[in-house]
Amino acid sequence: MSTAADATRVEEVAGRVVADHDPRRVPVQEFLGACFDAGLSWVHFPEGLGGLGLSRGLQASADAVLQAAGGPTPFWLNPIGYGMAAPTLSEHARSPELARSWLRPLATTEDIWCQLFSEPGAGSDLAGLATSAVRDGDSWVVNGQKVWTSLAHRARWALLLARTDPDQPKHKGLTYFVLDMEAPGVRTRPLRQMTGQAEFNEVFLEDARIPDEHRLGAVGDGWRVAMTTLMNERSAIGAGGTERGSGTIADALALWADRPHRRTPVLRDRLAALWTRAEAQRLTSARARRTATAGSPGPEGSVSKLVAAELNQDVYEFCMDLLGPEGTLYGSYEVRREGGRDADWRGALQQRFLRSRANTIEGGTSEVLRNVLGERVLGLPGDLRADAGKAWKDVPRG
Ligand SMILES: Cc1cc2nc3c(=O)[nH]c(=O)nc-3n(C[C@H](O)[C@H](O)[C@H](O)COP(=O)(O)OP(=O)(O)OC[C@H]3O[C@@H](n4cnc5c(N)ncnc54)[C@H](O)[C@@H]3O)c2cc1C
């Protein structure tokens, strides 16, 4: 738990950073580098790795000072880097020096990160994945195909989960690596979404080499390391806005204010219900943030993600109903390869509506998260697992 003295310290450090590196004047990379050096990128990380060794809940105090001075929300500039790679590297890199060499350029957003987990035959059943990594001296040789890899076309580094022992049951034969996306044998192909954007990709790995030093955790312990990534992913996606009326509900409120002629009592009723859900979600996340210490978030991150994803979809459906026929107008379906995630990357409301359909799939589908909630929080009987205890290579695959 944090103390009042810790909170004061964080605010003072943040105050010094914005005084010495005014985010409205210096380049964004310089500002984010100063935040890293001062320990404000992730205040719960160890000193030297972008943190101050304090409680995770104090990040909000740092962010409030940095953003009030005009600082960016770094998560949107390098979402997989900040939300998933950083906690995984800080906890599992082979040495603090190696972790630091990855974390600083990640924090400044010079190095974008991506996550090579899902495959054509392994999404919800991630532990069933088939991409193989075979030891060869001091390195590993990787072959396989990944899919839905957000930002792979811009990424310098990737979090990779691969099978190193097909004779073990599926969870036990996995190992976790950091892959250089510029290494020979790594090929990326865009996948276009219904928004017109191509923010994700297929990634083909053909004899791509990874030095053993870039393994995270022990050989065969990849599932445990992946849990750090997945729990932080869900918690990051489900975090929502910190101020009352912020986050996606702000879009609905702004549209309501802007279209008085489209208002009806039924829509008013729906907006009030959505606002109440958004407020409950915001307060639940705020409580989780305040009580969070170091380490990875628990199943409460999965609950936040589940609730936030369904709320986003309902908010944007409401916006389309309020827009009426205007909701069917869409700027352009030209393929867009997102360059940077600046403030406008989410595009017009129509684009946000289409993009929100993916919210209940990315980072774990709502069905799977309900299973997590049922099993880990409520203690209900587990899902059927026909492959339990069987060697991965003996499990039939379609
Ligand atoms: C926008 C977006 C970005 C993404 N970015 C990345 C990324 O950067 N890196 C990455 O590795 N992956 C990424 N993904 C992939 C994502 O993690 C998977 O799509 C997701 O885990 C679901 O897997 P699947 O698509 O294979 O669906 P499947 O697992 O085939 O599921 C199909 C359907 O079956 C249901 N289902 C499956 N198993 C169960 C069960 N046990 N109980 C009840 N229902 C079940 C699912 O809920 C779903 O409705 C992204 C996906 C999206 C949409």
396 within some domain: no
**Nearest-angstrom CA–CA distance, 205 and 181:** 10
Tokens of 5: 């003295």
The domain containing residue 125 runs over which residues? 113-219
Q: Nearest C-alpha to atom 16 of ligand 1 is from which residue?
A: 362
CA 296 to centroid of ligand 1, rounded, Å: 22
> Among 368, 369, 372, 384, which is best to mutate for testing ligand 1, by the most ligand atoms less than 8 A from CB?
368
Q: Both 315 and 298 in a single domain? A: yes
Q: Both 190 and 272 in a single domain? A: no
From 83, 108, 133, give the residue that closes a domain.
108
Ligand 1 pocket list (CB less than 6 A): 114-115, 117-118, 123-124, 148-150, 200, 358, 361-362, 364-365, 367-368, 371, 383
Instruction: Provide CB contacts within 8 A for 156, sequence distance 6+.
Output: 105, 110, 111, 112, 113, 180, 181, 182
Q: Both 321 and 245 in a single domain? A: yes
Q: Both 303 and 255 in a single domain? A: yes
Q: Nearest C-alpha to atom 31 of ligand 1 is from which residue?
A: 124
From 92, 108, 124, give the residue that closes a domain.
108
Q: Nearest C-alpha to atom 48 of ligand 1 is from which residue?
A: 365
Q: pLDDT by residue (tens digit) across 345-382?
A: 567 899 999 999 999 999 899 999 999 899 988 999 98
CA 307 to centroid of ligand 1, rounded, Å: 17
Q: Where are the alpha helices (DSSP H) in the chain?
A: 4-20, 28-38, 59-68, 74-77, 79-80, 86-92, 96-108, 222-237, 249-258, 265-291, 300-323, 349-356, 366-372
* Half-sphere exposure (Cβ direction) of 303: Cα atoms closer than 13 Å: 16
Atom number of ligand 1 nearest to Cα 152: 8
Q: Nearest C-alpha to atom 7 of ligand 1 is from which residue?
A: 149
Residue 204: Cβ-neighbour burial (10 angstroms; 0-12, 13-18, 19+):
middle
**Is 233 known to be catalytic?**
yes
**Nearest-angstrom CA–CA distance, 248 and 346:** 11
> Among 231, 345, 361, which is best to mutate for testing ligand 1, by the most ligand atoms less than 8 A from CB?
361
Q: Both 237 and 336 in a single domain? A: yes
**Nearest-angstrom CA–CA distance, 216 and 158:** 12
Which H or E run includes 160? strand 157-163
Q: pLDDT by residue (tens digit) across 145-202?
A: 999 999 999 999 999 999 999 999 999 999 999 999 999 999 999 999 888 888 889 9
- Among candidate residues 40, 34, 57, 37, the one with its CA nearest the CA of residue 48: 37
Q: pLDDT by residue (tens digit) across 86-142?
A: 999 999 999 999 999 999 999 999 999 999 999 999 999 999 999 999 999 999 999
C-beta neighbour count of 70 within 10 angstroms: 12
Q: Both 234 and 344 in a single domain? A: yes
Q: Both 320 and 269 in a single domain? A: yes
**Nearest-angstrom CA–CA distance, 341 and 241:** 17
Q: pLDDT by residue (tens digit) across 232-244?
A: 888 777 776 678 8
390 within some domain: no
Q: Both 98 and 118 in a single domain? A: no
387 within some domain: no
Q: Both 364 and 300 in a single domain? A: yes
